[in-house]
Amino acid sequence: MFNTVLVANRGEIAVRVIRTLRKLGIRSVAVYSDADESARHVREADVAVRLGPAPAAQSYLSIERILDAARRTGAQAVHPGYGFLAENAAFARACADAGLVFIGPPAGAIELMGDKIRAKQTVEAAGVPVVPGRHTPGLTDDDLVAAVEEIGYPVLLKPSAGGGGKGMRLVRSPEALREEIAAARRAARGAFGDDTLLVERYVEGPRHIEIQVLADAHGDVIHLGERECSLQRRHQKIVEEAPSPLLDPKTRARMGASAVEAARSVGYVGAGTVEFIVSATRPEEYFFLEMNTRLQVEHPVTELVTGLDLVEWQVRVAAGERLGLAQEEVELRGHAVEARVYAEDPARGFLPTGGVVLRLAEPDLPHVRVDSGLREGMRIGSDYDPMLAKVVAWGGTRAEALRRLDAALARTTVLGVTTNVAFLRRLIKDPEVAAGRLDTGLVERRLAELVDGAALSTPEEVLAAAALARLLQLEPAPSTWVDPFDVPSGWRIGEPAWTTWRIEIPGYEAVEVRSRGRAHDAEIAIGDAEPVRAGAEARDGVLHVTYGGVAYSFAYAQAGPVTWLGRDGETWAVREEDVLHAAAPSAAVAAGPLRAPMPGTVTAVKVTEGEKVTAGQVLVILEAMKMEHSIVAPFDGVVAALRVRAGQTVALDEPLVSVEPTEGES
């Protein structure tokens, strides 16, 4: 067994791998970029080595720097986690050349399964069902057209290289085929530098089901059942579970046997996942999709239903041990569901967010597991993937697991960074999800109800809490004497006066809230409603509020002008809008600065100060986490102020450019 292992990753997966290494008595080595200097994985490892600047190419993707860190710390093996170099055959070979054990499959298996065409040909030869289509190298446009005529519509055009759904095109009619082929080639060439395409029949109502396999270097291969990963957005998984509510024991056994054969066909060693696509209407019919030659993000649900630690088995197999576990000894107990917590804003089209984690609460409940890279005080930037944590719940039944997951998410609070936690709660309580009627298009179909329908109005108690929090901030310390006229209580010799606040919360309309009295004993009037008795007290990061005779508790933090409140998985970033600004003519308000919808880097500035612009014209382009977003002129006007330059890093809601409307525009 190894005595020192380097973890070539970051965030929650690095923390999770370090946890198992500690359990095994193995010294752990973390690596980090400058952006992650104070990250949780750095603090939890036994040793941490700086790699370089934040860009991944100079840190987590630098094979040379990672191997140097291993050499300097005496590591005998490298665990790649997932992402970055986990499925990089060149890295696996470089580790071997440096005398290090790569905790993963052989480089040849990584290489073969990374090529979708060769992968399909290999598993098909081993008797594994593949989607009807054409997946031979070098298909011309005419070859693809001919193949589609044989297969029949609808079809899916897919790049041979890459993954994550990039470049895939769904074609339902012959009129659009050649145009879609050209578009798919452009996308594949831009994303992967390779425009090779394959074509396959599109499975209607598809469900994404994957089988976990384990293999040792002695020829033993087993599977650990399946995971259902059909709840996706833009081909990215959001919620996963084990086992699938779709499969019966007979289909599970058939799919598991196919996955084992797929792993054997490439000489696989270690933990891997064979992905299948299954028709929701014909679950007995399944087709090989691809093989992920690494640990999956969703591996905890398999661990909870099997009782096996997959990272431990990865390490043991890499050290040369046999599995010592027969297929018939694998037993699935109960049900597990995992929800991925992302730094993203569902109300803004799921754009990535960022900021400093001001307050953090993660659930500590029976049968609930949290894999997290978060800690209070850390900064979430735009350099890496926005996934922050995973909340996983186990139950004796699927319904029980979903209830426990909902309770766990309700106790998950991240203040300072907008996340998708509230969205996840709404998703897992959706009637179709609760009934197990899943497919990969469900989330997109339900977005209006899950996102827009949830942002109709702010709860009254939140608005009251925001006003009371503002009162608390402005009130002097109890030991300090001040002129009573300086306290925003409304105190007057006659009847107390009202103080008016205009509360602004992203995703909601600004609301006028009036208050009078001290924070602990006040009257609050929201909009035109009658005043309500209220009070608030802040202790240990919690704002305790009474409003209308009901007591509420909010997680509470202050960041400059923004008051953060959190409760039941929901968070609200509250600003006090300037009353004079709100009362200004509409044109003057419209001329306010256009702000960054996400933290990121300015990749292009398309205008200059004083330049005339038209409505919809691109002014600035931002990039974050490989996503581009264009900031456009909201109306015809003139660029009054340009506050950024190309290459500059900006924060969420940072002013970028101001446009003054031309005369007559509103």
Asked if 41 and 372 touch (Cβ cutoff 8 Å), the reply is no
Q: Which of 444-453, 512-521, 597-606, 624-633 has the highest mean pLDDT?
A: 512-521
d(CA 441, CA 459): 31
For 52, residues 6+ apart whose C-beta sits below 8 A from its C-beta are: 33, 34, 58, 59, 62, 65
CATH number of 511's domain: 3.30.700.30
SS3 state of residue 623? strand
pLDDT at 480 over 70: no
d(CA 511, CA 582): 11
- Specify the pLDDT at position 135: 79
The answer on 510 and 392 residing in a single domain is no
Which of the residue ranges 240-244, 477-481, 653-657 would you say has the lowest mean pLDDT?
A: 477-481
Q: In total, how many domains does the chain have?
A: 5
Q: Is residue 112 part of a domain?
A: no
- CA dihedral in degrees (229, 373, 341, 391; nearest 10)? 70
Tokens of 347: 């109300």
For 251, residues 6+ apart whose C-beta sits below 8 A from its C-beta are: 283, 284, 286
Place of tokens 């109502």: 205
The answer on 412 and 377 residing in a single domain is yes
**Mean predicted confidence (pLDDT) in 14-20:** 98
d(CA 596, CA 533): 38
- Specify the pLDDT at position 145: 94
Dihedral (CA of 111, 318, 37, 599) sign: positive
d(CA 152, CA 173): 9
Q: Provide the percentage of residues in the chain whose pLDDT is more than 90.
A: 66
The answer on 373 and 244 residing in a single domain is yes
- Specify the pLDDT at position 597: 80
pLDDT at 435 over 90: yes
161-173: b (≥16 Cβ within 10 Å) or e:
bbbeebbbbebee
The answer on 387 and 483 residing in a single domain is no
Q: Is residue 110 part of a domain?
A: no
pLDDT at 133 over 90: no
The answer on 466 and 444 residing in a single domain is no
611-631 tens-digit pLDDT: 999 998 999 988 876 667 889
d(CA 518, CA 535): 8
Tokens of 469: 């929090």
Q: Is residue 127 part of a domain?
A: no
The answer on 403 and 267 residing in a single domain is yes
Asked if 554 and 566 touch (Cβ cutoff 8 Å), the reply is yes
Q: Is residue 348 part of a domain?
A: yes
Q: How confident is the model at residue 581 (pLDDT cuts 50, 70, 90)?
A: very low
pLDDT at 580 over 80: no
140-199 tens-digit pLDDT: 999 999 999 999 999 999 898 866 567 789 999 999 999 999 999 988 888 788 899 999
d(CA 555, CA 539): 10
- Specify the pLDDT at position 482: 55
85-108 tens-digit pLDDT: 999 999 999 999 999 999 999 999
Query: Residue 532: beta bridge partners?
Result: 524
Q: Is residue 124 part of a domain?
A: no
For 105, residues 6+ apart whose C-beta sits below 8 A from its C-beta are: 92, 266, 268, 269, 270, 272, 293
- Specify the pLDDT at position 589: 46
d(CA 664, CA 666): 7
- Specify the pLDDT at position 164: 58
Q: Is residue 98 part of a domain?
A: yes
Q: How confident is the model at residue 592 (pLDDT cuts 50, 70, 90)?
A: low
Backbone angles phi, psi at 456, to 5 degrees: -80, -40
- CA dihedral in degrees (296, 48, 320, 222; nearest 10)? -10
- Specify the pLDDT at position 167: 79
* Mean predicted lDDT score pLDDT of the chain: 90
- The more confidently predicted of residues 173 and 663 is 173
Name the DSSP class of 130.
B
- Specify the pLDDT at position 61: 96
Q: Is residue 114 part of a domain?
A: no
**What ranges in 307-396 are assigned the alpha helix state H?**
310-318
The amino acid that residue 171 corresponds to is V
- Specify the pLDDT at position 484: 57
Q: Supply angle C-alpha 652, 657, 663, rounded to 5.
A: 135
Which of the residue ranges 139-143, 265-269, 477-481, 512-516 would you say has the lowest mean pLDDT?
A: 477-481
CATH number of 382's domain: 3.30.470.20
The answer on 317 and 234 residing in a single domain is yes
Backbone angles phi, psi at 239, to 5 degrees: -130, 135
Q: How confident is the model at residue 332 (pLDDT cuts 50, 70, 90)?
A: very high
Identify the CA nearest to 227 among candidates 167, 293, 297, 168: 297
**What ranges in 75-216 are assigned the alpha helix state H?**
89-97, 107-114, 116-125, 141-151, 177-192
SS3 state of residue 189? helix
234-269 tens-digit pLDDT: 788 999 999 999 999 999 999 999 999 999 999 999
The answer on 392 and 337 residing in a single domain is yes
pLDDT at 447 over 70: yes
Last residue of a domain, one of 454, 470, 496: 454
The answer on 512 and 436 residing in a single domain is no
Q: Which of 36-45, 503-512, 587-596 has the highest mean pLDDT?
A: 36-45
Q: Is residue 419 part of a domain?
A: yes
CATH number of 608's domain: 2.40.50.100
d(CA 469, CA 543): 8
Range of the structural domain that residue 551 is part of: 460-580
- Specify the pLDDT at position 348: 83
pLDDT at 506 over 90: no
Asked if 489 and 516 touch (Cβ cutoff 8 Å), the reply is yes
The answer on 439 and 545 residing in a single domain is no
371-384 tens-digit pLDDT: 999 999 999 988 88
d(CA 237, CA 163): 13
Last residue of a domain, one of 177, 201, 225: 201
User: pTM of this prediction?
Assistant: 0.85
Last residue of a domain, one of 454, 479, 494: 454
The answer on 519 and 440 residing in a single domain is no
SS3 state of residue 482? coil
The answer on 37 and 140 residing in a single domain is no
d(CA 598, CA 228): 31
